[in-house]
C-alpha cells in the first residue's frame, strides 16, 4: 500500500484527502494513525494549541470498552480552562451535521401521496439522526417553486387569478388556477407528443401558444425581471405561510424553506464551467447534456443521457439540484445529506450524484459519497379515493373526520374525551403514519381508510389506545394512593423489585430493555417499520399483562402494586418515546 492508494481509498469513503501530515505518523502501516491525523486536524481548528501537542495527547485507551483513543486534555496545558468543561464543549463542536431534505412539495400543485410519505418518513429520519445518533440536523424543505410549470401558473394567474380568492384560500386558489390553465395547455402538449411520436421537430409547436407564453415567463424569472419575480415571490411567501401551519399540525417544523428558486445563479454558472472544463458537457441542438454512457464509467453507463440545460436556454431540475448541493456544502459543511424522495426519482438521483462525481469539485473532495437518497414506494389508490387534486390540509381533515366517526362509535368512551376534535386529529394522524410505516419503505401499499382508522389490529389508533390505557391505569393507581415519580419514573427506596421477578414482569422488562438496540438498528436501515414492529410487540405484551400484573386491588398487596406501577410507568415512557420518534403525539385519554 502506498500513501497515494490509501488516500484514494479514503477519498472513496468520503473522508477528506489528502491526509493531514505529521512527522511521527505512519498512516500506511498504522491504521490508528489515520484516525489520529484526522482528529488532530479537527481539534487544531477548535483549540488554540500546538498541533504536535494535540497529536501526542491522543492516546490509546486502557481497555476497548473505553473507546479507541482518548484525548488527555491536561497534557495540552491550556491555561484557565477546566478539562471537564472543555471536554463537553469539544464534544458538542465535533458533532456531525446532516441535512435531511424532505416533503418538498411543488407550489401550486397538489400535495400528493408521495409528498406525504416523504414528510412522514423524513421527519422520522431527522428525529433518528438528531435525538438518537446525536447529530446536528438541518430539516430542509426544497420547494418546487421554480421551473417552467411556474411560468405556466403565472400565465394562468393572468387568465384566471382573483385577488379576493387568493386572500380567502391561497393554496386552494393557486391550485385551482393551475388546474384550469393546465387543462387549457393539454391540447398543445398532446400536439407536441404527436409530433414527437412521428419524429417531427417540435420547435415550431413550442414557439407559439401557451408553450411560448409559459417559456417566456419562466425566462423572465431567470433573467431577474422585477415584475415576474414579484409575482413569484408573493405566491411563494403565501404558500410557505400556509405550509408552516399545516406542518405544525403534524408536529413538524423545518429549519429552512429552501427551494429550486433559491439556488445561486453564480453556482449554476460555476457548475457549467467546470463540467465544460472536465470535457463532459456537450452541446446538442441548443441544449447542453451529459452522456453518462461516455463519461460516467461502468457504474453510470445505464444512466443514459441527461439534459442539463434546456433548449430554451433555461436551467433544468437537474442543474438546479447539482448547484444546490454545492451551495449547501458551503453553507452548512454537512457530513451527510439525505434526500427523502419517492422511488420514481431513483434514476434521477443516480444522475444527480453521478454528475457531482464527474464535477469532482476540488474544494469538496468526496462530496458525492456524502449524498444519500432514501427512496420509498407508492401508495396505491389514494388519489382516486380522495379525489384528484388535494392539499395537505384537506388530506388531514379527511383522516380526522374518519377517525372522529370511529370514535363516536363508542358513546361511553367518547363522552370522556375532553376535546374530541383535537384527539380525532392526533389519532387520525397516527393512523396514517402507522399505515405508512408498517411495511418496508420500498414496498408499495394499498390505501385503506377503514383499516387504518380501526382500533383493532396493528394500527395507529391501537397504539394510541395502548398509551391512553397505560396513562389511565397510572391515574387510577395514583387516586388509590400508588404514586410513581413522573417524569423520571424513578423508584424511591420504597420500591421492592423482588415483586417484578415473575415471568410476565421479566418478559416485559426484557422487551423494554431492547429499545436502544432497536433504535440502533433503525438508524442503520432507516426503516420505521423496525421501530413500529417493536412497539406493537411491546403493546401486545402490555395488553396480556394487565390481568396478571394488577395494580389497583392487587391481590399481592400494596407493595406489589407500587413495584408494578413503576414498571408500567417506565413501559409508558418507552412506548411514548418510540411513538414520538416515529412522529406521533401520544394521547393521555
Ligand atoms: N418537488 C419535487 C417533486 O415534487 C421533489 C423534490 C425532491 N428533492 C430534490 N432535491 N429534487 O417531485
Q: What is the pLDDT of residues 63-101, one digit of tens each?
A: 877 888 999 999 998 888 888 899 888 887 888 999 999
Residue that is written with C-alpha cell 380567502 in the block? 168
Could you please report the per-residue DSSP string of 47-82?
SSS-HHHHHHHEEE-SSGGG-SEEE-GGGG--TT--
Please say whether the beta carbons of 41 and 49 come within 8 A.
no
Determine the pLDDT at residue 556.
Answer: 95
Determine the pLDDT at residue 384.
Answer: 41
Ligand 1 atom showing the smallest separation from residue 324 Cα: 10
Please say whether the beta carbons of 54 and 76 come within 8 A.
yes
- Is position 115 annotated as part of the catalytic site? yes
| Residue 428 CB partners (closer than 8 Å, separation 6+) | 396, 399, 400, 401, 402, 403, 404, 453
> Distance between CA atoms of 15 and 132, rounded to whole angstroms?
23
| Residue 67 CB partners (closer than 8 Å, separation 6+) | 61
Q: What is the phi-psi region of residue 134: left when phi exceeds 0, alpha when psi lies from -120 to 50, beta otherwise?
A: left
Please say whether the beta carbons of 528 and 582 come within 8 A.
yes
> Distance between CA atoms of 395 and 573, rounded to whole angstroms?
30
Residue 145 DSSP SS3: coil
CB atoms within 10 A of CB 372: 17
Ligand 1 atom showing the smallest separation from residue 349 Cα: 11
Q: Which of 282, 294, 285, 289 lies closest to 309, judged by CA? A: 289
Residue ranges of domains in the chain, CATH in brackets: 3-94 (3.30.1360.70), 382-582 (1.10.730.10)
Does the ipTM surpass 0.85? yes
Q: What is the pLDDT of residues 343-390, one digit of tens each?
A: 999 999 999 999 999 999 999 989 999 999 999 999 887 654 444 556
- Is position 112 annotated as part of the catalytic site? yes
0.90 surpassed by pTM = no
| Ligand 1: lining residues by beta carbon, under 6 Å | 101, 104, 106, 142, 144, 321, 339, 341
Which is catalytic among the residues 82, 97, 115, 476?
A: 115
Compute the distance from residue 535 Cα to the ligand 1 centre, in Å. Answer: 31
Going by the DSSP 8-state scheme, the letter that residue 315 receives in this structure is B
Please say whether the beta carbons of 319 and 309 come within 8 A.
yes
Determine the pLDDT at residue 383.
Answer: 56
Residues of the chain where predicted confidence (pLDDT) is lower than 50: 384-387
Amino acid at each position: 500500500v502506498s500513501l497515494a492508494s490509501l488516500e484514494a481509498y479514503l477519498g472513496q469513503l468520503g473522508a477528506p484527502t489528502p491526509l493531514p501530515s505529521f512527522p511521527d505518523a505512519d498512516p500506511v502501516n498504522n491504521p490508528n494513525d489515520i484516525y489520529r491525523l484526522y482528529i488532530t486536524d479537527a481539534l487544531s481548528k477548535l483549540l488554540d494549541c500546538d498541533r504536535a501537542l494535540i497529536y501526542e495527547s491522543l492516546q490509546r485507551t486502557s481497555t476497548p470498552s473505553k473507546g479507541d483513543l482518548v484525548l488527555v486534555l491536561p497534557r495540552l496545558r491550556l491555561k484557565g480552562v477546566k478539562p471537564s468543561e472543555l471536554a463537553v464543549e469539544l464534544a458538542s463542536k465535533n458533532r456531525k451535521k446532516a441535512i435531511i431534505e424532505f416533503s418538498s412539495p411543488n407550489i401550486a400543485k397538489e400535495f400528493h401521496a408521495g409528498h406525504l410519505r416523504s414528510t412522514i418518513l423524513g421527519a422520522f429520519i431527522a428525529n433518528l439522526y438528531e435525538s438518537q445518533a446525536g447529530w446536528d440536523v438541518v430539516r430542509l424543505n426544497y420547494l418546487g417553486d421554480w421551473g417552467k410549470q411556474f411560468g405556466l401558473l403565472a400565465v394562468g394567474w393572468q387568465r384566471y387569478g382573483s385577488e379576493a380568492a387568493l386572500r380567502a384560500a391561497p393554496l386552494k386558489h393557486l391550485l385551482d388556477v393551475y388546474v384550469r390553465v393546465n387543462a387549457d395547455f393539454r391540447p398543445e402538449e398532446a400536439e407536441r407528443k404527436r409530433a414527437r411520436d412521428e419524429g417531427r421537430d417540435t420547435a415550431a409547436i413550442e414557439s407559439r401558444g401557451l408553450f411560448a407564453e409559459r417559456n417566456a415567463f419562466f425566462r423572465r424569472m431567470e433573467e431577474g425581471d422585477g415584475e415576474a419575480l414579484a409575482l413569484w415571490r408573493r405566491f411563494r411567501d403565501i404558500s410557505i405561510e400556509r405550509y408552516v401551519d399545516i406542518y405544525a399540525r403534524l408536529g413538524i417544523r423545518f429549519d429552512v424553506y429552501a427551494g429550486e428558486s433559491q439556488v445561486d445563479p453564480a453556482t449554476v454558472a460555476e457548475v457549467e464551467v467546470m463540467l465544460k472544463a472536465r470535457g463532459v458537457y456537450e452541446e446538442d441542438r441548443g441544449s447542453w447534456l451529459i452522456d453518462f454512457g461516455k463519461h460516467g464509467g461502468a457504474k453510470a453507463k445505464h444512466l443514459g443521457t441527461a439534459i442539463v440545460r434546456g433548449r430554451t436556454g433555461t436551467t433544468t431540475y437537474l442543474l438546479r439540484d447539482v448547484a444546490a448541493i454545492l451551495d449547501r456544502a458551503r453553507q452548512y459543511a454537512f457530513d451527510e445529506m439525505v434526500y427523502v424522495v419517492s422511488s420514481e426519482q431513483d434514476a434521477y438521483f443516480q444522475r444527480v450524484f453521478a454528475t457531482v462525481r464527474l464535477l469532482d469539485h476540488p474544494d469538496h473532495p468526496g462530496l458525492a459519497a456524502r449524498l444519500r437518497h432514501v427512496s420509498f414506494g407508492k401508495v396505491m389508490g389514494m388519489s382516486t379515493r380522495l379525489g384528484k387534486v388535494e392539499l395537505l390540509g384537506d388530506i388531514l381533515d379527511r383522516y380526522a373526520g374518519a377517525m372522529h366517526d370511529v370514535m363516536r362509535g363508542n358513546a361511553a368512551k367518547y363522552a370522556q374525551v375532553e376535546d374530541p376534535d383535537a384527539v380525532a386529529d392526533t389519532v387520525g394522524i397516527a393512523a396514517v403514519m402507522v399505515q405508512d410505516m408498517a411495511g418496508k419503505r420500498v414496498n408499495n401499499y394499498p390505501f385503506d381508510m377503514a383499516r387504518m382508522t380501526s382500533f383493532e389490529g396493528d394500527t395507529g389508533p391501537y397504539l394510541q389506545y395502548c398509551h391512553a390505557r397505560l396513562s389511565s391505569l397510572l391515574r387510577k393507581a395514583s387516586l388509590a394512593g400508588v404514586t410513581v415519580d413522573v417524569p423520571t419514573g424513578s423508584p424511591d427506596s420504597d420500591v421492592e423489585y423482588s415483586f417484578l421477578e415473575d415471568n410476565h414482569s421479566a418478559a416485559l422488562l426484557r422487551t423494554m430493555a431492547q429499545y436502544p438496540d432497536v433504535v440502533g438498528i433503525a438508524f442503520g436501515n432507516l426503516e420505521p417499520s423496525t421501530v413500529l414492529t417493536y412497539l406493537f410487540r411491546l403493546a401486545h405484551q402490555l395488553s396480556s399483562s394487565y390481568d396478571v400484573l394488577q395494580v389497583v386491588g392487587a391481590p399481592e398487596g400494596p407493595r406489589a402494586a407500587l413495584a408494578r406501577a413503576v414498571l408500567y410507568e417506565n413501559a409508558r415512557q418507552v412506548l411514548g418515546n418510540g411513538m414520538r420518534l416515529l412522529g406521533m403525539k401520544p394521547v393521555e385519554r
